[in-house]
Homo-oligomer: A and B are copies of this chain.
Amino acid sequence: MAEQVRWGIIGPGNIARQFAEGLAVSKTGTLVAAGSRTLSRAEEFCAKHGGKAYGSYEEVLNNPEVDAVYIATPHHTHMNDTIACAKAGKAILCEKPFTLNALEAERALAAVREAGVFFMEAFMYRCTAQTAKIREWIDSGIIGEVKLVNTSFAFQAGEEWANFRNDPALGGGGLMDVGAYCVSLARLAFGEEPSDAWYVSQPSSKGVDWIGSGMLKFSGNRSAVFQRALVLSAATTRSSWEPRGASSLMILGRTARVTRFDATKVGTPSLRNLILVSPMLRFMPPKPTLSRNTLKPASAHTSPSKTLFNR
């Protein structure tokens, strides 16, 4: 077995916790450091998950034992965090959405290219067996030319006003948080960038987009729609948000379609077993598969250039 990748985490929140739990069972990675702007938060995190606790992000980047950094900070700091990691020569796994806009993404990836480090936007779903199978089916033509994509995704950030997802200044809002999955999946299915986009969204009292719909136009007048929500009601339990409806997926080709789907249940491909039911767009705890000596994407379905453009 290749030597394990030694991970540092910056921004030890809920997603970082899930990542650390994934690392604990991974054979390819181990946690060596975690940094927070508040030392006590990092200490609390490392007490549970291991690694050395730091009261700043810089100290994690300066630790020579750290091979790769998982950036789990709020969206609005991703550009600067990525640039800092690249300058420190660390491999980078950055939470989605990568940055707040394309200009920030281009600036950060320029630093990545200059440093020659590994970079991946943490759209973990692109590394799963089911995504590989979907791309295989699309590429092989078994479902025919992709015509329509329909996705939805919801997350119960509710009226938790301290959650950065509810703060416009921190890059909050439903499109950045869960809508990003829908847009990413449409780009994956069509294998190109949309030429037009429309978005209708209902703002929260704090000004982030909470519930909304979007439509994307691809070449040849092919199209995708998506709906997303950060909240319906703080009083509503997650039971009303079970996968059917809360997160859904339909990729409709000329001759068949893929509907919420679990690759573990797939037998011989046929029109019949393309249609299976399983949560698709839920958060998948990452399983780091990078070896320390061969830092490369776990899947061909993600790359820095695919973060920027499908070309």
Q: Which chain A residues have a beta carbon within 8 Å of chain B's beta carbons?
A: 144, 147-148, 150, 152, 196, 198, 200-203, 211-215, 217, 220-227, 229, 232-233, 235-236, 239-240, 244-245, 250, 252-257, 259, 271, 275
User: Within 8 Å CB of A211, what residues of B?
Assistant: 147-148, 222
The answer to whether B201 and A221 have CB atoms under 8 Å apart is yes
Q: B221, B229, B240, B244: which contacts A203 (Cβ < 8 A)?
A: B221
Q: How many copies does the complex hold?
A: 2
The answer to whether B215 and A245 have CB atoms under 8 Å apart is no
A127 to chain B, nearest CB (A): 26
The answer to whether B212 and A240 have CB atoms under 8 Å apart is no
The answer to whether B223 and A225 have CB atoms under 8 Å apart is no
User: Within 8 Å CB of A196, what residues of B?
Assistant: 200
Q: B198, B224, B236, B259: which contacts A256 (Cβ < 8 A)?
A: B236
State A220–B212 Cα separation when bound (angstroms).
11
Which residue of chain B lies nearest to A195 when distances are taken between CB atoms in the complex?
Answer: B200
User: Within 8 Å CB of A255, what residues of B?
Assistant: 232-233, 235-236, 240
The answer to whether A213 and B233 have CB atoms under 8 Å apart is no
User: Within 8 Å CB of A259, what residues of B?
Assistant: 244-245
State A196–B275 Cα separation when bound (angstroms).
34
A230 to chain B, nearest CB (A): 12
State A223–B213 Cα separation when bound (angstroms).
6
State A254–B236 Cα separation when bound (angstroms).
9
Q: B225, B232, B253: which contacts A215 (Cβ < 8 A)?
A: B225
Of all A-B residue pairs in the complex, the 5 with the closest CB atoms, nearest first, are: A213-B223, A225-B225, A200-B223, A202-B221, A215-B215
Which among A229, A235, A244, A275 has the highest number of chain B CB atoms within 10 Å?
A244
State A160–B241 Cα separation when bound (angstroms).
41
State A150–B153 Cα separation when bound (angstroms).
13
Contact A257 B271, CB 8 Å, known A147-B211, A211-B147, A225-B227: no
The answer to whether A202 and B220 have CB atoms under 8 Å apart is yes
A185 to chain B, nearest CB (A): 15
Q: A148-B212, A202-B223, A236-B256 are in contact. List 5 more A-B contacts (CB 8 A).
A: A148-B227, A150-B150, A201-B221, A202-B222, A240-B275
The answer to whether A221 and B232 have CB atoms under 8 Å apart is no
